[in-house]
Structure 1
Amino acid sequence: MGQRIFRRVSLGIMMCVLATGLVFAGSPLPNPPHKGEGILTVNIQGVFNAKVSLSPFKGLKTVEPIATVADVRGNKSAKIKIPAQYFPGEFLLRLDYRAKEADAPYPAERIIYINQQNIEITVNPPYINNDEKTKFNSGEKENTVFSAFMKENNAKRMPLDLLRQFLLSYDQPKSKLYTEGVKEFEQRRVEYNTWLANQAKIHSKLYVSRLFQFQYIPAIIWSGDAKERVNQILKNYFEGINFSDPLIIRSRELSRFMDGYMGLYGMQATTVALRDSLFTQAGSVACEKASKGDPQVYGWMVDYFYTGYESYDIKPGITMLQKHINNPDCFTSKKQQITQRLESMARLVPGALAPDFTMNDNIGKSFKFYQWKPQARNKLILFWTTTCSDCLKLVGELSEWYKQPANKKKLDIVAINLDEPEVKIGKWKAVIANLSSWKHLHAEEGVNSPIAREYAILSMPVMFLIGSKNNVIVSTPGTIEQLVKDLK
């Protein structure tokens, strides 16, 4: 909740990491590669013990661990059975180890790729990402090839990236030096992309070859200004991505790639209104491109943009997604949420009657919203949690603003906490101890509670400014600044 999905990236950095322009289709991979379960064997060395867990990636996030082995002693092994539906893909291997018996557990993590082979890895947890001390079994391919590829890739990209940075910052574009630099860059770019394509072809039977496409460096029209170069890159951004390959959503690389895409749009946003317009345009283009590919990739793309739009409260973007969730070829996991959000956008608008509700407050008294008639002209409903950093920031800002006597005359506040499970309630009570002038309610089922469903709360914080006398929605401000503006 409150997570910023669309990352802003500077132009210089973006020019160094952009990756698009070439399709690395590869050979078809067996699906599933195992008839049954696969086996990951983890040999623990150099520590007293470790808890071993393995989690698959879907985009930037891991899902629940496939398995956890609670106590693997030093010089012993853990065997993790991996169901076939998770192959091939990117996984997070986590070891919570104790160097000595009296020590507290300390985490160590490494990304690994698993495809057609049962694999064995020998690990000294403090050095889990040191390839000299972390060894895979002889004949292991996915991780060995990817590690070797990245080492060679980084060496080949370094001079290209330095040359590109020089050209971006050089202030005499009509000079002979600049012209020669552009020529050298283009020659090296073509050579690099040719090498990249050959690597994908050589290793086409491996899952990791699908990830090479995200390293491709597109052509740049150096004769234009910075804005023209960005627009050209955006125009060509997806040309090399194989949206027909559902395996690309089993890695973090597609999410990183999309964050770079959104960073280019974000750089151009000078106002909130322009940002919303640009991000909506970005989603429209990307979802249209993905719609021509595999339904799973198409659905992933819709999920990605919905999560971002919900985080930034970009209503035009959410509306844009409506046609995609109604497409039977879009395997989105967010259809119900998007539909609910669209319905709430049509129902919970300024001028509409706010839904009534009855709940117990923090001291156990029944609170009936419609019957609550505070002295101020308006009342504010705030939905929040203590685990949401944006929520805590808004609560702090609202608390400071509300300390002014003149502001207390403008509205009264009812804060509805959606923390769950019960173990987090202590933190909620600690926070509200300093907010005694507010009304405090807690919905035990969190975002699945009746009040959250009634107000279509899917992410937080969310505010509703409502007239005290008529219970009509005045506005749904997204920031404290917008709230102050709406009160004038």
Structure 2
Amino acid sequence: MTKKILALFLLISSISYAQYTIKGAMSPEIKTDWVILYRLEGTKQVFVNNTTIQTDSVMISGKKQAVSSFQIKLPTSAKPGAYRATYKLEGAGFVDFFFNKENVSFIFNPEYPQQSIAFSASSENKIYTDFLSDVSIVQQKLDSIQVAVLKNPSLDLAKEYNMALKKVDSVQAIYAQLTEGKYVAPFVKASSRSNPPKIFTSINGYIDNITKTYFDGLDFSNKTLVNSSFLTNRMLDYIFYINYTENEKEQQALFKTSIKTILDKIDDITYKRDIIQFLIEQFEETKNLEIIDYLFEKHYNNLPVTLQNKKFKEEKLALFAIEVGRIAPDFSWQENGRNLKLSTLNDAENYVLVFWSTSCSHCLREIPQLHTYMNSKPNMNVIAFGLENDAMVWETYTKNNLKGWHNVLGLNKWENKTARTYQVYATPTYIILDKNKKIIAKPNEFKDVKEFIEKL
């Protein structure tokens, strides 16, 4: 009886401490010494584990090659899902895979991770990559027939198109059956294209069909799809590639239309908030203020107040407060006994707002040059915002050297509230405004100021 109890205890213990292994190898080897593993949840990355990278020699295509390899253990309690191994902070610096209670092993090229990944262990990942490969081959054949007819509408390729379409449908049906009950099943279903039953002879008709059927296989309520990069990648493709034009004004309108189309399909209000925040960050990269404002004003601000992230909103709005095209943040000062305000100043057609300091040698060289130059520009004025820790030197310098300017004293230097609002990290910092105080340029140096003003 004692032996049976001991055997049962050992069995339970071995199960309790069992682990899954994630093994990855990068070829060619890469000069980095760490990998961080995340689980994807919506648009967020949840930290799971991290490890170091080793250099090993392995046989690849019959030749010994050096690879960068890593291994991460996951407990039996690890959640099934989409996971991301990150090895670089910029560029193509991560690889995504699925985990569903099985060991995962793969090799990939670190410069082209997702395109080159090959799995040696993990039935879920193997069958999904096989599906992507097989369906891509037959889909490309179908697309090539369609493109040929679009180039030459007189071609009669209806028979060939129908045969190719049947092959696509057959591959999709086979893998739908093979993945039934598996974690990757929703991805196989969502990856299936809605190909038209008949070939198009019109480019406009073809493009219109792609746009209208783009979301046919996508279920925005499916948690498996939501907690992966799949849906977010599809959204980005729809916004930036499917709805594309070279006309800048039309593109802005297309951005707004495509964004609304996507958000209208999302019922989960929390997920909708996360997607809006995600899109704001995407347009942040190109500083597309019009679309960022649109996302805040038409979508984010309409969310329940309890769901809105006040800190996120304040940080993003502050980040773009001094971008070209924005109205310059307001501030006030006293001048010759009068209370003045930037927003109500009306004594010039354009203004040069310059943040400077008497303790800055670079400023003491450029500010006199700016003063001399601006004397020849009667329709312009300067607002010289001095960042100082003490008023005495500033008062003497401005009184003797900067006559005719609006001179503003900003105490506490780098901690000055206005300086922080304008994100001033160095002096001199130049900002050129129009009569309405809209920012029209942010030159780097005095020579750039002159160059811009001469073009006005």
Report the TM range for the smaller structure's normalisation. 0.5 to 0.7
Please tell me whether the aligned partners of residues 295 and 330 of structure 1 are also in contact (alpha carbons under 8 angstroms): no
Residues 139-188 of structure 1 deviation map (CA, whole Å, 9 limit, x = unaligned): x2222212222232233223113212212222xx2x3x33xx24532453
The residue number in structure 2 matching 1:216 is: 193
Match of 1:117 among 101, 107, 112: 101
Q: Does 1:313 align with 2:288?
A: yes
Relative to structure 1, the CA distance from residue 187 to residue 122 in structure 2 (aligned partners, 3 Å threshold; closer, same or farther) is closer
Please tell me whether the aligned partners of residues 124 and 134 of structure 1 are also in contact (alpha carbons under 8 angstroms): yes
Match of 1:92 among 85, 90, 114: 85
2:25, 2:255 → 1: CA distance?
46
Please tell me whether the aligned partners of residues 52 and 69 of structure 1 are also in contact (alpha carbons under 8 angstroms): yes
Please tell me whether the aligned partners of residues 42 and 271 of structure 2 are also in contact (alpha carbons under 8 angstroms): no
Please tell me whether the aligned partners of residues 321 and 422 of structure 2 are also in contact (alpha carbons under 8 angstroms): no
Which letter does structure 2 place at the counterpart of 1:208?
V
Residues 270-317 of structure 1 deviation map (CA, whole Å, 9 limit, x = unaligned): 2x3222222111111111122x3x445433432343234443424366
Which letter does structure 1 place at the counterpart of 2:330?
P
Which letter does structure 1 place at the counterpart of 2:438?
S
Please tell me whether the aligned partners of residues 53 and 69 of structure 1 are also in contact (alpha carbons under 8 angstroms): yes
Relative to structure 1, the CA distance from residue 414 to residue 40 in structure 2 (aligned partners, 3 Å threshold; closer, same or farther) is farther
Please tell me whether the aligned partners of residues 113 and 143 of structure 1 are also in contact (alpha carbons under 8 angstroms): yes
1:278, 1:407 → 2: CA distance?
46
The residue number in structure 1 matching 2:217 is: 240
The residue number in structure 1 matching 2:397 is: none
1:133, 1:345 → 2: CA distance?
38
Please tell me whether the aligned partners of residues 325 and 335 of structure 1 are also in contact (alpha carbons under 8 angstroms): no
TM-score, normalised by the number of residues in structure 1: 0.54
Task: State the 1:86 CA deviation.
Answer: 6.1
Q: Does 1:303 align with 2:277?
A: yes
**5+ residue gaps, structure 1:** 1-33, 97-106, 359-368, 383-401, 417-440, 458-462
Match of 1:268 among 245, 248, 267: 245
Relative to structure 1, the CA distance from residue 167 to residue 339 in structure 2 (aligned partners, 3 Å threshold; closer, same or farther) is farther
TM-score, normalised by the number of residues in structure 2: 0.57
Relative to structure 1, the CA distance from residue 484 to residue 267 in structure 2 (aligned partners, 3 Å threshold; closer, same or farther) is farther
Please tell me whether the aligned partners of residues 108 and 116 of structure 2 are also in contact (alpha carbons under 8 angstroms): no
Task: State the 1:233 CA deviation.
Answer: 2.5
Note the 1:161-310 alignment, pairs <5 A.
161-170=143-152, 173=153, 175=154, 177-178=155-156, 181-212=157-188, 213-219=190-196, 225-264=202-241, 266-270=243-247, 272-290=248-266, 292=267, 294-295=268-269, 297-310=271-284
Q: Report 1 or 2 for greater relative contact order, CA contacts < 8 Å, sequence distance ≥ 6.
A: 1
Task: State the 1:326 CA deviation.
Answer: 5.1
Helix, strand or coil for the counterpart of 1:149?
Answer: helix
Which letter does structure 1 place at the counterpart of 2:218?
I
Helix, strand or coil for the counterpart of 1:163?
Answer: helix
The residue number in structure 1 matching 2:23 is: 42
Choose between structure 1 and 2: higher strand proportion: 2
Helix, strand or coil for the counterpart of 1:66?
Answer: strand
Aligned length: 363
1:64, 1:412 → 2: CA distance?
52
2:78, 2:353 → 1: CA distance?
47
1:309, 1:164 → 2: CA distance?
33
Helix, strand or coil for the counterpart of 2:225?
Answer: helix
Larger radius of gyration: 2
Task: State the 1:330 CA deviation.
Answer: 11
Relative to structure 1, the CA distance from residue 54 to residue 406 in structure 2 (aligned partners, 3 Å threshold; closer, same or farther) is same
Note the 1:47-66 alignment, pairs <5 A.
51-56=33-38, 63=45, 66=48
Note the 1:78-477 alignment, pairs <5 A.
78-81=71-74, 87-92=80-85, 94=87, 111-121=95-105, 136-137=120-121, 140-170=122-152, 173=153, 175=154, 177-178=155-156, 181-212=157-188, 213-219=190-196, 225-264=202-241, 266-270=243-247, 272-290=248-266, 292=267, 294-295=268-269, 297-310=271-284, 311-315=286-290, 318-319=293-294, 321-322=296-297, 324-325=299-300, 336-338=311-313, 354-356=329-331, 377-379=350-352, 409=377, 454=421, 465-466=432-433, 473-477=436-440
Residues 420-466 of structure 1 deviation map (CA, whole Å, 9 limit, x = unaligned): xxxxxxxxxxxxxxxxxxxxx9x989xxx966974699xxxxx9643
Identity of aligned residues (%): 14
2:86, 2:211 → 1: CA distance?
35
Which letter does structure 1 place at the counterpart of 2:352?
K
2:112, 2:246 → 1: CA distance?
41
Residues 206-253 of structure 1 deviation map (CA, whole Å, 9 limit, x = unaligned): 333332223414328755642343233323322221111133244333
Residues 258-278 of structure 1 deviation map (CA, whole Å, 9 limit, x = unaligned): 2332245653352x3222222
Task: State the 1:256 CA deviation.
Answer: 3.2
Relative to structure 1, the CA distance from residue 354 to residue 61 in structure 2 (aligned partners, 3 Å threshold; closer, same or farther) is closer
1:125, 1:223 → 2: CA distance?
38
Residues 79-127 of structure 1 deviation map (CA, whole Å, 9 limit, x = unaligned): 334796764004236499xxxxxxxxxx997735233224153769899
Please tell me whether the aligned partners of residues 348 and 473 of structure 1 are also in contact (alpha carbons under 8 angstroms): no
1:222, 1:132 → 2: CA distance?
32
**5+ residue gaps, structure 2:** 1-14, 58-68, 334-340, 356-369, 386-409, 425-429, 444-450
Superposition CA RMSD, Å: 5.9
Which letter does structure 1 place at the counterpart of 2:85?
L
Please tell me whether the aligned partners of residues 432 and 442 of structure 2 are also in contact (alpha carbons under 8 angstroms): no
Please tell me whether the aligned partners of residues 44 and 73 of structure 1 are also in contact (alpha carbons under 8 angstroms): no
2:288, 2:114 → 1: CA distance?
42
The residue number in structure 2 matching 1:5 is: none
Please tell me whether the aligned partners of residues 299 and 331 of structure 1 are also in contact (alpha carbons under 8 angstroms): no
Which letter does structure 2 place at the counterpart of 1:119?
N
1:487, 1:45 → 2: CA distance?
52
Please tell me whether the aligned partners of residues 44 and 124 of structure 1 are also in contact (alpha carbons under 8 angstroms): yes
